Amino acid sequence: MPTKLSQPSEALSISDILNALEINCGAVPEEPDIYVVIPGNNGPRWLVPAVSRGAASVLNAWRPYSVSGQVKWLAIRIAARAGILQLFRSVSSVAISRTGLLRWFERCGIPSRRGEIVVLVGSPYLNRKLIVFLLDDAHRIAAVLKVGLTAAGGASVLHEAEVLSKLEGHSWAPKVLSVHPDLRAAAQEYVHGFMPDRGFRPDYMNLLCQLPRSGSSRNLANLAAAMANTLSPFRAELDKIAPDILNRSLSCLDLDIAVPTILVHGDFTPWNIRITPESGCVLVDWEWADFDGLPGYDLFRFQFINDRIFGSKEGGSPVLRARSIGTEYLRRMDLDAALLPRLAIAYQLDQLGTDFNYRSPEDTVYILRQLATIVDSP
C-alpha cells in the first residue's frame, strides 16, 4: 500500500500533460484533433474534444461538491453536448496528434479509428496523476487509463493495477487491461453504472463482508505502540488542540487482543461505488487498498467522510453509536461487538498519522473531536 501524500505539487502546463502522455506538442501534428482545455484552480483541469458525441458521458459522471460548482458544471456539460465549449471565455484550445492518441488505444487493446479521449487532471498533490477516458468508435467509454505525473502518483497507479490483478474474477472490482511500469501507467475496464446517493445502503454491508480475509492478524497493543511512535512528532501540537486526547485514545488500544486482518479498499465512499445491472455494487479507485488492513476501516471511512465533507449528519461517531450498522458488521464478520469503539479509534489515529502534515487545521480538529466523542462516551 503506497504512502498517502497530500502536499500540493507544482502547477502543470498543457505541455507537461501531453509530455506525460508521450504526445509531442511542439510542431503542428500531421493529424491534429482540436481539444478544449477547461481550467481549474491550479491550471488545466480537463482536456475535452472540441466536437465529440462521447465526451458528454464522461462529464455527466463528474459531480462537484458545491452547489455553485454543480451549476457551473451543468453549463459545461450542456455546452459539451452542443459542441460549443470553445465559446467559453475561460477555455483555450490545443491541437493534439491523433497518432499519439491512437498509440494509447493500441497499448490498452482498445480498437479505435478516431483515438478520442477525455483527460481529467488530478488534484495538485504529490501523488498527482492523469485520468484518461478512452472512447471507442461507438462513442462509449471503453477504458480508464491512469498515468502518474509524479513518482508517488506512479506508485499509486501501479499499486492499484497490482491489487486489481489479484482480484480478477471478483465481480465487485474492475478488470486490469494493461500495465506499463516504464510509463507509470495502467489501464482498466470502465464500469458503466450509476453513482448512488450518499446514504449507506444494505448492498454496501454485503459488499464489505465479501472482502477477503488475509488469514493474518494484528495485535492491538502492538498497533498502539506503532501509532504512538508515528504521532510522536505531532504530540505537542495535538495536545494544544485537544489536551491528553492522544494518550487517552492510545490507552484504549493498549490491549493484548489479536484482530484478524482483511482486504481494505482504503477509500470506500459513495463516489467510488457504481451500481450496475450485471454485478450490483462495483468498487473503483483501489489505489489505497491494503490486503492486511483492519476490519471496519472502510465502514468508518464511509461514515466519517460524509460527515466531514457534507455536514449531512449521515455519519460520524454519534451515528455509529445510534445505529446498528457497526455492530451488524462485526457480527457478520464473527467479531466481538466490543471491538467497535476500539477499531474506530484506531481508524481515526491512523488518519492523523497519515495526513497530519498535509491536512487543513479544520480536518485535524474534526478528527480530534470525533476521537473525544468515542473515547469519552459512557
Q: What is the CATH number of the domain that holds 268?
A: 3.90.1200
Average pLDDT over residues 85-96: 86
Indicate whether 4 belongs to any domain.
no
**Residue 351 Cα distances to 28, 224, 227, 348, 370, angstroms:** 47, 14, 10, 5, 12
Instruction: Identify the domain boundary among 133, 154, 189.
Output: 189
Number of domains the chain is built from:
2
Q: Please tell me whether residues 136 and 166 are part of one structural domain.
A: yes
Instruction: Identify the domain boundary among 163, 189, 215.
Output: 189
Q: Please tell me whether residues 244 and 179 are part of one structural domain.
A: no
Q: Please tell me whether residues 148 and 97 are part of one structural domain.
A: yes
Q: Please tell me whether residues 181 and 244 are part of one structural domain.
A: no
Average pLDDT over residues 192-217: 92
Whole-number pLDDT of residue 8: 46
Indicate whether 194 belongs to any domain.
no
pLDDT interval class at 6 (50, 70, 90): very low
Q: Please tell me whether residues 51 and 183 are part of one structural domain.
A: yes
Q: Please tell me whether residues 317 and 233 are part of one structural domain.
A: yes
Residue environment code for 88-100, b if the CB has 16+ CB neighbours within 10 A, otherwise e: eeebeebebbbeb
Output 309 or 375, whichever has higher pLDDT: 375
Cβ pair 340, 320 in contact under 8 A? yes
Q: How large is the angle between the packed helices 339-355 and 297-310, nearest 10 degrees?
A: 60
Q: Please tell me whether residues 350 and 212 are part of one structural domain.
A: yes
Q: How large is the angle between the packed helices 245-253 and 339-355, nearest 10 degrees?
A: 130
* In the predicted structure, residue 152 carries a pLDDT above the cut 60: yes
* In the predicted structure, residue 330 carries a pLDDT above the cut 80: yes
pLDDT interval class at 5 (50, 70, 90): very low
Whole-number pLDDT of residue 105: 95
pLDDT interval class at 177 (50, 70, 90): very high
Whole-number pLDDT of residue 3: 47
pLDDT interval class at 362 (50, 70, 90): confident
Range of the domain at 342: 202-375
Return the sign of the alpha-carbon dihedral for residues 12, 17, 19, 25: negative
**Average confidence score pLDDT of the chain:** 88
Instruction: Identify the domain boundary among 142, 166, 189.
Output: 189
Indicate whether 50 belongs to any domain.
yes
> pLDDT by residue (tens digit) across 230-263?
999 989 989 999 999 999 999 999 999 999 999 9
- Report residue 138 as a C-alpha cell: 461507438
Q: Please tell me whether residues 42 and 167 are part of one structural domain.
A: yes
Q: Please tell me whether residues 78 and 147 are part of one structural domain.
A: yes
* In the predicted structure, residue 201 carries a pLDDT above the cut 80: yes
What residue has cell string 446514504? 199
Cβ pair 147, 157 in contact under 8 A? yes
pTM strictly above 0.75? yes
Indicate whether 173 belongs to any domain.
yes
